[in-house]
Amino acid sequence: GFQAEAWLVSLSGFLKICSCSSNTKGHVVIHLLRDGASVWWRKEEQKLHVDYEIVTWELFEEHFQCRYLSKRFIHQRKDEFHDLRQGSLSVAEYE
């Protein structure tokens, strides 16, 4: 979970500075996949009946999260965020 999340966050930051289309961002991400992730994505494309040319960053990100970030992991991270504190105040109180 944490490695996949860190990779996704790092990649998201990189893609934000790229002035390219969502499709191009999707192509970049697919090109960066290695080993099992690359095999997984090829199978995912076949299941979705999508052509490489129409894969967007958003489509990839959604499917990547479903595959590599479990619902339990995502809920844990949300709980951690809501439990953050600034001094003696929670994030909600700090705002």
Structure tokens at 40: 């997984």
Closest CA to 30 of 51, 49, 6, 47: 51
d(CA 11, CA 32): 10
Please report the sign of the dihedral spanned by the C-alpha atoms of residue 30, residue 34, residue 37, residue 38.
positive
pLDDT digits (tens, 9 = 90+) for 64-95: 988 887 666 666 666 666 677 777 776 667 66
Q: What is the pLDDT of residues 2-59, one digit of tens each?
A: 788 888 889 999 999 988 899 999 999 999 999 999 999 999 999 999 888 889 999 9
